[in-house]
Amino acid sequence: MRRAALVLIPVLVLALAAIAAAQGNPEAAKMKNPVPSNADSIAAGKALFSKNCRFCHGADAKGNGPMAPKDTHPPDLTDAKWDRGASDGEIFAVIRDGAGPKFDMKGYKSKMTETEMWNVVNYLRSVGTK
């Protein structure tokens, strides 16, 4: 009985983590995008995406990048399904903090300013499902 419990505990922890990840980030969902979505912001976000994200997410943001880590499937950032939350704040938090450990995406808080990350959010909104 005790051995069965020891086996089930890690399985339960993983299941709860998967459920939490699929539900997004409630704290990040409260964040408001301070950068207006305009042509300048979208162009800046596209340039930053091309420099930092396209290798895994693909030039068209569909998750088909040539350098995605082996056996991973980066998400299609143009579709309506956002497993880690669909609000601007949740998208910003993933860019800032990363998406790990399963997805092996490092955060960009040391590589981009907050304004730059918000520009990427605006760019992704411009190419996503309307």
| CATH code where residue 36 lies | 1.10.760.10
The terminus-to-terminus CA distance of the chain in angstroms comes to: 52
Q: Taking the model in full, what pTM does it have?
A: 0.79
Q: Judge whether 121 and 95 are in contact, CB under 8 Å.
A: yes
In the Cβ-directed half-sphere of 125, how many Cα atoms lie within 13 Å?
Answer: 21
Q: Is residue 8 part of a domain?
A: no
Say what the pLDDT of residue 82 is. 85
Say what the pLDDT of residue 45 is. 98
Say what the pLDDT of residue 104 is. 76
Say what the pLDDT of residue 14 is. 40
Q: Is residue 107 part of a domain?
A: yes
Q: Is residue 17 part of a domain?
A: no
41 burial type by CB count under 10 A (0-12 exposed, 13-18 middle, 19+ buried): buried
Q: How many independent structural domains does the chain possess?
A: 1
CA dihedral of residues 107, 68, 47, 39 (deg, nearest 10)? -90
Low-confidence ranges of the chain (pLDDT < 70): 1-23, 103, 130
Say what the pLDDT of residue 65 is. 93
Say what the pLDDT of residue 1 is. 54
Q: Is residue 87 part of a domain?
A: yes
Q: Is residue 78 part of a domain?
A: yes
Domain of residue 103 covers 25-127
Say what the pLDDT of residue 124 is. 97
Say what the pLDDT of residue 2 is. 54
Q: Is residue 106 part of a domain?
A: yes
Q: Is residue 11 part of a domain?
A: no
Q: Is residue 20 part of a domain?
A: no
Say what the pLDDT of residue 99 is. 87
Measured N-to-C along each axis, helices 88-97 and 114-127 cross at an angle, to the nearest 10 degrees, of 120
Say what the pLDDT of residue 33 is. 98
Say what the pLDDT of residue 112 is. 98
